[in-house]
Structure 1
Amino acid sequence: MSNLNDLTTLALPSGNSLVADETASRLSLSLQGQPLIELRLTREPELRLWLEERFGRPDGQAFWAACYWLFARDPGCQRLTWHLEEAPTEALLSGLLIATEVTGQYRCERTLFWQLPQPWLGESRTGSYPQQMVISGGKRHPLRAVKPRGEVYRRFDARLGAWVSLRTVEIEHDLARFNRWQNSPRVASFWQEEGSLEKHREYLSKLEADPHTLTLIGCFDDQPFAYFEAYWAKEDRIAPFYDAGDYDRGIHMLVGEEHHRGPHKVASWLSALVHYLFLDDPRTQRVVAEPRADNTKMIGHMHNQCFHCEKQFDFPHKRAALMMLGRERFFDRCSLA
């Protein structure tokens, strides 16, 4: 794992890299070898920033880069106070900065910063999909957007020192891997989906055709290690067991590669998965999961990521724990870096 105190470079999903020269009182950032922004800093009683030089770059790009660097550098930092002579119009419109009662003073809140979808989501448009209520399977719910294809989320995890990304399942490409994972005794003991390639082709094909479930492959440094299912709770079998919101998302999780197990890896991929779902549609207020009630290890990992156990309940096939994480709690307490 990387030591954030030694951080000097941050990679961006675009392929570019932020490089910093930081002291206790100054921060200079460059992007791909070109100067981006230079700031004067004071750190007590809170972190304050004065713009020294912007090098002709757009406000939004330069201010965003500085906020990203400082929040990634210190996951405990909750707020940045900017002192600017001119109103940062673009940053104010996007929500990156908010005005204060003091003229020329603006704030960037960690809870707001991590809700901005770019650059983590690329070109996703799900969050702007209009609402129309429909009925399917006897359940009334919003009409869902067409499911995305390809990579849907990418972020460099500075604490882990690795890229964490999510892409949609490609059945022909991922079938053998999925089959191997499901036939692992460890996975089979909880999923109970072991079987042949044809059984798993049918399983994945059914979900691909289901508008309420999105199947995902989790990757570290572009190497697949996990399989996830993200579903709209309102249309799912979980809906009768709690008061499901129209945009609540649920998750099923499977880590297939043994060398990617461990609490530090779970902290990275679980926070990335939840982050993606909250960014994918800003109307999503809760992410839920229903692991087996005796899966104490997974439940413990979820507690560590701020989920709470709402209750235990009985599915026809298992005794389950209803794990829940609200949007406000996630962004208030997230330790994304």
Structure 2
Amino acid sequence: MTSSHTLPLPDGRRLTAGAEPGRVRLSIDGRPLLSAACEPMEGGVALIPDRPPGLPPGLPDPLSADAAWAAACWLFTRDPACRILVWRGIEPDPEALRSGLLLADGGGGAICRRDAFWQLPGPWLRGPGTTGYPAIAHGDGAHLCRPPKPAGELYRRFDPALGLWISLRSLDIDADLERFNRWQNNPRVLAFWQEGGDFLRHRAYLEGLAGDPHVQTLIGCFDDEPFAYFEAYWAKEDRIAPFCAPGDHDRGIHMLVGEEHHRGPHKVRSWLPALVHWLFLSDARTGRVVSEPRADNARMIGHMQSLGFLREREFDFPHKRAALMVLDRRDFFDRCPGLSEPSSTTAAHDKSVRMKDSP
């Protein structure tokens, strides 16, 4: 029996899979891309594409980069346990080899690794990343010149577990000031951020950050509804630098969920991986993401630890006792938390706690 499922893509296309025991058929917007036999294997799937009509015997099947990408997107998104795809009897597209989507295995095939697939920027990254921007220092030699901050939508991905789009865009002071003011004056947020005040104070706060090259202000959205405010910063130019020995391109984050109906662990499981994913995609040289929540913010620290952040130690800022949270790039892409549909056990657990009080 064949079943059909569709995964929306950020560029407006729709990836459709027709699955039956031992086979998969993929198309994008109705255009067939792949029909292949599937064989389960430890840690992944072996794929043997159908031979195109008229292909002379003895020649390997050509495998297009589009077909290889579609198979990886579908299988890695749908199955969190799938870590590798092994293609047999194919001639990989050189473009797929150059990008790192496929790796030649030397035996008449190729492999695709989950940790490599999720490091490819398209189509999740909605604009050009900063990779390749020269590492040049300011006049004092202590800090780097940072590239111009991107504007507009920066990241988009459909979360099949929630059935929602998760996206990130740059903050627009005029459009977002009212909600920023409302969120910061929420007693729950105020207890941790301590940035309450009126519109004048908050406009000055955001204008200051807009002029600061080391901080990017972001709005998180579910189905284009703003629900959260984030600050992404270059750690080397931040006050956290003395406490975490940052690399030149390490990033840090501050996080605030403002809309009450978008709180809960099931939502954190979507937006926190998306935020980290964007940081790692926007500059491939970023080796770590750090954060310094208040040391007594046990709930947020627990969410971060569940997604792979390590609580390295505590330290004192002038205004708070902070916990240093660190996520290594390799650890993130090795696990890819939140980028695949959760197992039924995890989904059931998340559903059971949705009504509990959480960020």
Is TM (by shorter chain) over 0.5?
Answer: yes
Letter in 2 for 1:317: H
Distance change >3 Å, CA 247–CA 321, structure 1 → 2: same
Residue in 1 that maps onto 2:22: 25
Q: 1:7 Cα deviation (Å)?
A: 7.7
After superposition, the C-alpha distances for 1:132-166 in whole angstroms (9 at most, x for unaligned) are 12246xx7122111100000000111222111000
Distance in 2 between the 1:279 and 1:54 partners? 35
After superposition, the C-alpha distances for 1:118-140 in whole angstroms (9 at most, x for unaligned) are 1111231312212212246xx71
Does 1:245 pair with 2:247? yes
Letter in 2 for 1:324: V
Distance in 2 between the 1:250 and 1:317 partners? 18
Aligned with residue 51 of structure 1, among 27, 49, 52:
49
Residue in 2 that maps onto 1:111: 115
| SS of alignment partner, residue 134 of structure 1 | coil
After superposition, the C-alpha distances for 1:244-282 in whole angstroms (9 at most, x for unaligned) are 111110000000000111111001100000000001101
Residue in 2 that maps onto 1:82: 87
Q: 1:96 Cα deviation (Å)?
A: 0.2
Residue in 1 that maps onto 2:152: 150
Letter in 1 for 2:135: Q
Distance change >3 Å, CA 185–CA 101, structure 1 → 2: same
After superposition, the C-alpha distances for 1:74-111 in whole angstroms (9 at most, x for unaligned) are 01111110113323211111100101132x12111111
* Structure 1 gap ranges (5+): 1-5
State the percentage of identical aligned residues. Answer: 57
Q: Which stretch of structure 1 is more off in the superposition, 268-277 or 46-55? A: 46-55
Question: Any residues of structure 2 matched to 1:61-210 within 5 Å, and which?
Answer: 61-102=66-107, 104-135=108-139, 140-210=142-212
Distance change >3 Å, CA 87–CA 334, structure 1 → 2: closer
| SS of alignment partner, residue 61 of structure 1 | helix
Letter in 2 for 1:107: I
Over aligned residue pairs, what C-alpha RMSD do you find? 1.7
Paired positions, count: 328
Letter in 2 for 1:129: Y
Q: 1:37 Cα deviation (Å)?
A: 1.5
| SS of alignment partner, residue 142 of structure 1 | coil
Contact 2:290 2:327 in 1 (8 A): yes
Letter in 1 for 2:14: S
Contact 1:164 1:272 in 2 (8 A): yes
Q: 1:54 Cα deviation (Å)?
A: 7.4
> Normalising by the residue count of structure 2, what TM-score does the alignment of the two structures yield?
0.88
Distance change >3 Å, CA 58–CA 144, structure 1 → 2: farther
Distance in 1 between the 2:265 and 2:51 partners? 41
| SS of alignment partner, residue 246 of structure 1 | coil
Letter in 2 for 1:156: F
Distance in 1 between the 2:306 and 2:268 partners? 10
Distance in 2 between the 1:152 and 1:205 partners? 20
Aligned with residue 12 of structure 1, among 4, 9, 15:
9
Distance in 2 between the 1:34 and 1:15 partners? 14
* Structure 2 gap ranges (5+): 54-61, 341-359
| SS of alignment partner, residue 282 of structure 1 | coil
Letter in 1 for 2:7: L
Distance change >3 Å, CA 115–CA 290, structure 1 → 2: same
Letter in 1 for 2:33: L
Q: 1:30 Cα deviation (Å)?
A: 1.3
Contact 1:278 1:284 in 2 (8 A): yes
Distance change >3 Å, CA 122–CA 281, structure 1 → 2: same
Letter in 1 for 2:186: S
| SS of alignment partner, residue 43 of structure 1 | strand
Letter in 1 for 2:49: L
Q: 1:11 Cα deviation (Å)?
A: 0.5
Contact 2:90 2:110 in 1 (8 A): no
> Normalising by the residue count of structure 1, what TM-score does the alignment of the two structures yield?
0.94
| SS of alignment partner, residue 331 of structure 2 | helix
Letter in 2 for 1:330: F
Distance in 2 between the 1:28 and 1:149 partners? 38
Distance in 2 between the 1:101 and 1:36 partners? 24
| SS of alignment partner, residue 86 of structure 1 | strand
| SS of alignment partner, residue 96 of structure 1 | coil
| SS of alignment partner, residue 316 of structure 1 | coil
| SS of alignment partner, residue 41 of structure 2 | coil
Question: Any residues of structure 2 matched to 1:225-264 within 5 Å, and which?
Answer: 225-264=227-266
